[in-house]
Amino acid sequence: MTDLTKLKIAEARDLLAKGDITSRELTEAHIAAVEAADDLNAYIEKTPEIALSQADAADAKIKAGDAKGMTGIPVGIKDLFSTKGVHTQACSHILEGFKPEYESTVTQNLWDDGAVMLGKLNMDEFAMGSSNETSFYGPVKNPWRRGDTDTVPGGSSGGSVASVAGFTAMGATASDTGGSIRQPASFTGTFGFKPTYGRCSRYGMVAFASSLDQAGTITRDVRDGAIMMESIAGFDAKDSTSVDISVPNFEAALTGDIRGMKIGIPQEYHLAGMPGEIEALWHKGIEWLKAAGAEVVDINLPHTKYALPTYYIVAPAEASSNLARYDGVRYGLRETVDGGGLADMYEATRAAGFGDEVKRRIMIGTYVLSAGYYDAYYLKAQKVRQLIADDFKRAFAKVDAILTPTAPSAAFAFGEKSDDPLAMYLNDVFTVPASLAGLPGSSIPAGLDSNGLPLGLQILGKPWDEETVFKVSGVLEEAAGFTSEPELWWR
């Protein structure tokens, strides 16, 4: 094996078990790849010493016959997962210098399984963005280019997808509030998986919108996603929204057999003006599933058209509440004003610490929660959210899974939509409805557009039925036969 960074998790797991490679060798190869890929700007904090120490511990576990699925596997960690003693700031200036004294449950689960941390990954500030252009550390570059033009990796998990697509991590943690796992996965030819809300603990995750945020994974294929998801999932008493339900063997669900399953095709996802390439890929996906023995059923999700406006009321409202804690008093950035008092310090700190997009969402959220507007906006949005969830419930009474496009376009160039927030928000049009309903979903790389950029298809499942999502995703992956890779132009 000449390039250990090209291995997938399942392949590396088997080689580690046989003693053909060591975790230290695997980790050293990835550390070198991280250094060579600085131009991608995927990592904001590199942790090679920690990685090598964990790799040696993993090798000892393997030698003792105590290995698990992620033992010895080098991964990247999105910057909103708290890592004890390691800089964690959700890529915001306002959390400058913050090093938690605790570990997020998701990352602790990985370390307990013997995984190796390569570093912390770039992201949109506080996970607010669809292009990774809002990070205090600057934008992440997509390993896939449009000719000589740099493209965005999607967001907010831009560092997560760039690290995996760019062969600098075998997998990465990510989070999905309105599509921040699935949309960037579609933009980078990676497999993104968002579980049911409550499947993974939110303890130690920097909060954006607490009723929507959910941890998930980015990997290079479906099997790797199943292995990594099984590692990070599970009940946690420290999170009141975590559900005490057993974690299945997700990898065992990859049987390749979907004969007799019913796959729903929502008519509302045929958007006016949608690129022909996206529509054509969706039709290909339908034919692939039919050829595998599934029955395709037209379904209706009538409140889909209200999903985006509903999301952009609920999420900013929760963000304005969550981000009120950042005041410069206890941790992070503190800006003082000569001769000023406490209120002046609050104002100066928050003005300097938050970026434009975060300020925009705080202001929207504060407005919709204010006296006289709460009923008209936030309360109404919550009622519409329930209607959207009810649409899915009715649909899943007739079908086992739903197939849609993941995103309405391929990756776009930097600056192409950053001056138009509404155009940027439309990137989430296919992913937001499932987030509002708390459903599990995935994005599978399924083809390339005319510019050679990846396009993804989305599978949505019933609550707690991640196994079906994985099963259908595996069949789609096999049928699509997506083996394209970006040119390693940064090396």
- Count of helices and strands (H, E) across the chain: 15, 11
Q: In what order do the strands lie in the sheet with 295-299?
A: 43-46, 116-121, 74-78, 171-176, 214-219, 191-194, 441-448, 454-461, 401-405, 262-266, 295-299
Residue ranges of domains in the chain, CATH in brackets: 4-260+399-480 (3.90.1300.10)
**Which pair of structure tokens corresponds to residue 41?**
């700007």
Q: How confident is the model at residue 271 (pLDDT cuts 50, 70, 90)?
A: confident
Q: How confident is the model at residue 25 (pLDDT cuts 50, 70, 90)?
A: very high
Kindly tell me the burial class for residue 451, based on how many C-beta atoms sit within 10 Å of its own C-beta (0-12, 13-18, 19 or more): middle
Q: What is the pLDDT of residue 420?
A: 80
Could you tell me where the beta strands, DSSP code E, fall in 3-42? none
Give the residue-averaged pLDDT of 135-159: 96
For residue 335, give the amino acid letter: E
pLDDT in tens, 281-315: 999 999 999 999 999 999 999 999 999 999 999 99
Give the residue-averaged pLDDT of 209-237: 98
Phi, psi of 288 (to 5 degrees): -60, -45
Phi-psi region of 204 (alpha: psi -120 to 50; beta: other; left: phi over 0): left
Q: How confident is the model at residue 261 (pLDDT cuts 50, 70, 90)?
A: very high
Phi, psi of 342 (to 5 degrees): -60, -45
Residue 2 has pLDDT above 70, yes or no: no
Q: What is the pLDDT of residue 273?
A: 82
Q: What is the pLDDT of residue 285?
A: 98
Give the residue-averaged pLDDT of 121-131: 96
Residue 7 has pLDDT above 70, yes or no: yes
- Positions marked catalytic: 78, 156, 180
pLDDT in tens, 80-112: 999 999 999 999 999 999 999 999 999 999 999
- Cα(326)–Cα(96) distance, rounded to whole angstroms? 11
> Which DSSP helix (H) or strand (E) runs through 231?
helix 222-232
Q: Which residue has the tokens 């950035």?
A: 333
Residues 6+ apart with CB under 8 A from 177: 127, 156, 208, 209, 212, 213, 214, 315, 435
Q: What is the dihedral of CA 415, 421, 422, 423, to 10 degrees?
A: 10
Residue 1 has pLDDT above 60, yes or no: no
Give the residue-averaged pLDDT of 115-144: 97
**Residues forming a β-bridge with 441:** 194, 460
Residue 435 has pLDDT above 50, yes or no: yes
**Which pair of structure tokens corresponds to residue 20?**
């053909």
Q: What is the pLDDT of residue 476?
A: 98
**Which pair of structure tokens corresponds to residue 97?**
């210098």
Q: How far is CA 270 from CA 6, 58, 125, 290, 298, in A?
A: 37, 48, 31, 19, 12
Mean pLDDT of the chain: 96
Nearest to 253 by CA among 109, 455, 464: 464
Residue 86 has, within 13 A of its CA and on its CB side, a CA count of: 27
Give the residue-averaged pLDDT of 323-332: 94
Give the residue-averaged pLDDT of 138-160: 96
pLDDT in tens, 43-85: 999 999 999 999 999 999 999 999 999 999 999 999 999 999 9
**Which pair of structure tokens corresponds to residue 370?**
């204010």
